[in-house]
Amino acid sequence: MNTAYQTLIVKFSEPITALDGIFDDAEVWGTDTLKGWIDNYESSRFTAIGTHTAVITSEYNMAGVKLWLEKFTPITEKIEF
């Protein structure tokens, strides 16, 4: 079975650890980190590759993940594959 994953490389203007502050109420969000939120989004994975940069992959939910990131996080650069 061939599964096509979409890939997004995102560079944030703030450190990823600072963005974790969005999830200040883990009980409400179900997580306390940006990685946890994206990893909990079905078929999606978040891998930090630097203090400000991450690779995000998703089998079929990239549109929703990307929309949320654009609305709630300070993105300075994004590359889609």
Query: pLDDT digit string (tens) for 2-53?
Result: 678 999 999 999 999 999 999 999 888 899 999 999 999 989 999 999 999 9
Per-residue model confidence (pLDDT) at position 81: 87
pTM of the model: 0.91
Per-residue model confidence (pLDDT) at position 4: 86
Per-residue model confidence (pLDDT) at position 2: 66
Q: Where are the beta strands (DSSP E) in 13-64?
A: 44-48, 53-58
- Identify the residue whose tokens are 């300070």: 74
In angstroms, what CA-CA distances link 5 with 18, 33, 38, 44, 80?
28, 23, 15, 9, 11
